[in-house]
Structure 1
Amino acid sequence: MQNLLDPAILFFVFGCFAGLIRSNLEIPRSIAKFLSLYLLMALGLKGGFALAKTGLNPEIALSLAIALAMAFIVPTIGYWFLKDRIAKFDAAAVAASYGSVSAVTFVTAIQFMEQSQLNPNGYMAIALVIMESPAIIMAVLLANMLRHENNTAATSKEPSLKNILHESFTDGAHLLLLGSMAVGYFSGEAGKTVMQPFSGDLFKGMLAFFLLDMGLMVAKNFKEAKSNSLTLIAYASVSPLVHASLALGLCLLCGISLADTILLMVLSASASYIVVPAVLRYAIPEANPSIYFGLSIGITFPINILVGIPLYAWLAQTLVRA
């Protein structure tokens, strides 16, 4: 309940409401893009400052190893479950979307944890970076295998793995996050003090404004998401909890701290609706964008924002010794 009464979440709910009643309220695309870039820069700076303070110790390395493992486990499970239920190209694209991560969901989780005094570790932004690309690579490899199996030579030249990797790792949002982390790391505590008014004091308001825009976008895509089969709707609704539970199990097995466990659960439960769709549009043109984009933004994103984050935090607090 506390999460639902947070101003940023209330603005998200308001955005959904405004969109559903077909209000003409909208955030100009240039402003929405700026807000997205701001959140990534602030998140990257926080991660860099935290890493400069703690250093890369074995505990952090273990958390990051689990993040990397989940980046392969989630798309593998997704494709295995979906490949005989929908078109295989669509299955690969959906698996990639759910194997990758949502930066906005992660940022919202950080804010929730700070308000709940759960002390999130800024260095976990590195996990966000680590989990971004493996699922995309797996999906592209699967798509290429399917093309050869079906003997359907594409009319245009197939995108090379080198081009896919370049597109994934040099994506502007991804690059900004990495660059901001580097700036935070090298500037350290002095940089944190200087940047506090920008990356700290403004953060909550910027997040609320961005979630308002996300609410409008969810409402716009909700009707299309509902038009999918019951199997896909069930996958988009249930898979976040399944993926979060798998991450929780690995964290319990490896003795990961409470804060890192919550964030690993959130990352594993999230789905990409920015980077992955942008790459897959030309990497797997056989897949239907309305499926993998509509499910992630229209169903999974609001579930995670409204109920998922507090649920994952509660589960972790119940089972993990802080």
Structure 2
Amino acid sequence: MRMGALKSLKEDYDIIDANFLHFCASHGIFSVEDVLVHDVYLLVASAEKLANFDRLKQGINQLLSIIETCHQPWMNGLEILEDRKQNKHHLSTGCERFDVLLHGGLHEGHVTELVGPSSSGKTQVCFQVASNVAMKLGSVVFLDSGNSFSPTRIMQMVTRISGSAGNKVDGFLQPAMRNIEHHAVFDIYALLKILHQLKLNLKSQTRYRLRLIIVDSISSLIAPVLGGSNAQGHALMVSVGYLLKELADRHNIAVVVTNHMVSGEGGIPKPALGESWKNIPHVRLQVSQDHASNTYGVYILKHPYMASGGSVTFMIP
């Protein structure tokens, strides 16, 4: 579904009537996009003060249901085949063994998810990829939900990748740092606003060559709005997934998100965010780290073009 005006839904849904549209307009909501970037809990609280609260709440839930239904993130076999035929390339991660495992690196047009428990090295892998892309290939947007972004660590990695020392490294460091656009993002509404702004920028700025989007971590932004009987959290999650896949596909961008692990059946760890989110990433990789030897491991959990189970170890100095 396109991010159209709410009034366009009036003919198909009785609950979305003139009164409901007037209520939404009073809160600056005129489109589906406006609904997504508002705190729906506050919207419901505002509706509770009005005499027609029950009907307004039904209208809000109807909108969330429409969003969830229309923003399905799954790809069927034909879509995957067409995606494979498109002229898309790979972005090197900067780690040769990692690139070999992925048959060239991160696939442009794909959402790649790095999953693993705390301190498994997900953020370090993000730094490595961001440093390599920013230094050699183009712009990176790094969305940081946990104050984990480290310019010092990026500097160390760029210095190592460049193989330079002393004053010579400045010729690589300054352009690379300028190529990384960092945003601190602490809730899902801020994430949606930034993604929508990126979408507008990419449409209007033909010279803006964004190559990589990193969200570290996606689960810390989505998990707080999930749970309970309210459909809002699930609709927001699906909408985030839809936007990431749309940005990746339409603009040949590689998207990397990180996700933590939770306890599954029998206490076996599994990626967080449930079955619906599981279908959003094209590629799902499990990351581990051996702190004693400073080696990292990557295991393929899901990939559209290769069998699961492949793995490799590598170092990030």
TM-score bucket of the superposed structures, by smaller chain? under 0.3
- Determine which structure has greater relative contact order: mean sequence separation of CA pairs < 8 Å that are 6+ residues apart, divided by chain length: 1
From the two aligned structures, give the one with the greater helix fraction: 1
After TM superposition, the score normalised by the length of structure 1 is 0.26
Task: Kindly indicate which of the two structures has a greater share of residues assigned to strand.
Answer: 2
